[in-house]
Chains A and B, each alone.
Chain A
Amino acid sequence: MIQLAWLIPILPLIGFLIIAFGGKKLSKSLVSIIGCGSVLAAFGLSLGIFFQLHGTSQTVKLLDWMHVGRLQIDFSFLIDPLSVLFMLIITGIGFLIHLYSTGYMKEDEKYDRFFAYLNLFVFFMLLLVMGSNYIVMFVGWEGVGLCSYLLIGFWFKNTEYNNAAKKAFIVNRIGDLGFLLGMIAIYFTYNSLNFSNVFSTVSENHLDTGALNLIGILLFIGACGKSAQIPLYTWLPDAMAGPTPVSALIHAATMVTAGVYMIARSSVIFVYAPVAMETVAIVGLITAVFAATIGLFQNDIKKVLAYSTVSQLGYMFLGLGVGAFTGGVFHVMTHAFFKALLFLCAGSVIHAMSGEQDIRKMGGLKKALPITHLTFLIGTIAISGLPPFSGFFSKDEILAHAYEHNKLYWLFGIIASMMTAFYMFRLYYLTFHGPFRGTEDQKHHLHESPKSMTIPLVILAVLAAVGGFFGIPDEHKHLLHDYLKPAFTYASAQINDAPEAFNLQEALLMIFAVIAAAASIFAAWYLYKKKNMVPIANESDLPELQRLVYHKYYVDEFYNAIIRKPMDWISDKGYKFIEIRFIDAIVNGMGTMVKWSGSVVRLAQSGNIGFYMFAMTLAIIVMLLVKLF
């Protein structure tokens, strides 16, 4: 079974090829069957491997790839608990979102292309988590970036969406450069890019902290790009231009967690690189708080979720940075459940509202969309961290480790968590409670989504509700920790990421976190349910500070001013001076020279045969004379 692991990424690839080349010839139902079926088959295989793995770590070699000098790169897959967990998340949630898309994208004329891209994405994402060396991982890494670009700009007739796609692609390139440099640094330090070789070498010989810190920070820059951390997070909120299932799959559940996976995979490097580790924690924490504050005042249903994704990703990095590798991965898992759920619910709402995304124009959708309402509520509670829903357990584990590491980190973590609870319930109340604020047309149009969309919602809601029980905070009951232990063997020799025995201190921390979340939920309830407050429509009426937050701290404008404007200036000057004065001059000069010499030589070609023969004879005589003397 495990030897068949190579089939898992190949199946969605085959699906992609059939749909992409079959194109319009295939009927919509056939496209749905191939698209969903290939991912479901991959999920089945992953599940089979999951039950046969028994905590071992195996390499499945598909083919030799590059053997150049000392560099040995195989196209092979590493099957260990960590990669199998991600494979399950990717194929499982991927399948649900494929299923959802069959309903959501029904009316779209590019239905087949959408499924082709989704399948291609699943293929690359699986490559990313399954690769047994950094190169295969990098191929997947770039591939998901490409698919993300294609899917954000899926409705490419809209220029704004296209710009969002380009922004995502370019910002990701910055991070990718960091990852690439990190790989080069690893190769020059350890002469290998295979996970097993690098990690065993690092765990034996880790005296060169400088090199390890450098590698760690470079890898983290890569993770920052893909996982939307400060300062490279600006692309993710804009990426909401894509269809909602894409936001759920790529920009919430899977692709953006690639950075977390990469750092968890490289945990050995990070545990011996204290500076890099601290950087991860601090950047994660700042991102968590910063993005949460922006989320407080956004009025677009998907933008709120996008900032909450950035904030939750920050949480995951905080977890990794303070050494809670299991906690970080645990949060990836629970976040995949509840955030995919929330996005799909948002999609259902947008579907019912005929494309409206502004929560100021919603309200009172509870009656019209009962299933969506209930599942959204479950997702909201889960992300807010109320027990016994999944978000509570994973967040608590991260916060507990943060508390041990540095109490200040814990405090800011709680603040971010409070803000999360507040804006999520604000979103919930504004969308589902109070009077309906849309147009009459929309009111008549309101309807619950079809079965193909509500079934994934219900399944995800169940997972979001009970997913936390995989990681009960006690050293003996934490299933996920036991399961992942083999993947972090090297790392746990240095840093203990195990949950401790349940004790009073941890219980107090938990109670405090829950009270904090409950308090902010109450605040949201009071403002948006009891007083029926609606965000001000005219943004110039906003108070100063709120307007700053509403405009996302003007970070986009700031980047424009410090990066784009100077670039434009340099390009403009380069065009006017170097391009026109030098490059154009050289190219045009060549042309002019050829024309001129042609016009001179042309005179000899008079068409007079007598002259030709005279010239020929003269030339022969000259040659003769040269030969003789």
Chain B
Amino acid sequence: MSGQPSTSAQPVLKTEDLVLYFRTTKGVVQAVDHVDFELDEGRAVVVIGESGCGKTSFAKAVLRLLPRNVHAYTGRVYLDGQDIMALDDEDFRLHIRWAKMSLVPQAAMNALNPVLRVSDQVAEPLLIHEKDVSREEALDRAREMFRFVGVPESFLSRYPFELSGGMRQRVAIAMALITRPRLIILDEPTSALDVLTQANIMNVLKKIKWETGTSYMLITHDVATSSELADDVAVMYAGQMVENADAESFFKEPLHPYARMLMAAVPKLRGDEDLEFIPGQPPSLLDPPTGCRFADRCPFRFDKCDQDPPLFLVDGRKVKCWLFEKDAQGVYGTQPAVATGD
């Protein structure tokens, strides 16, 4: 992304034309629709979008955590340059999932096994993926992780129900960290937590990023909190990635109309701006429109929007919107100063 020199030549995660469709009784749900995406090493990208936009499905597509009713799963996913889509399931399980990429799932604090002590749970991924590690070594590393995420050592031998929500979330993060993966994907890590606990967890994640250089993909609908961790921002809408930019530029001024309206709908504690909301609803993923999927609700819609726009490159940012098409002189399409809609 612009402005930040990367330490390595290739991005830590890259997807090309990633597709994930589900088969349901009502038809085919196009959850992830031809997503192209890149994340450089040591950076954190925040994937924001509202419910049903496909962001969780995107994470599942990258991690190959698929349910039974998959209709289509194609495209390429490169982890450190290696095409992991080409691996078979067993290879993927042993060498990629949790070894190189791990996940802190939604409501992770409720996903802990209630009959195992937390230390055992945190040690388990290590024992599975690194065969030559002994049990004592694994527990030692678990202890180290606990210290890292800020859980007191006395909690090691406790069961999940004895810990508060915030503590359990930290345990889940430790579990994702212990195998020293290249990339951690976090799905709504703080949405069920209180404000202070949220800030705490964000601090922990920041520390981990600065000290270990792990890359992050943070998935959330909470735009405000996302800025705590974001180096890059990716916005998803109706199964497609509509904007991908570095955080600095994005939070100052988002480009895609949906992103702009989303930002304007976020209540700010200290700002003085008016709040705006987006009328209408996102299209159903069962039968998405053929043109730009946001066109129905977009105040800047014009006739070209009947076709699905490609990703345009604007100052190192990617935007999926016809307004950013360069014309014959290399000049960008003008954003009307006034909305063409209502």
Verify that A and B bind, or say they do not: no
Interface residues of B (CB under 8 A from A): none
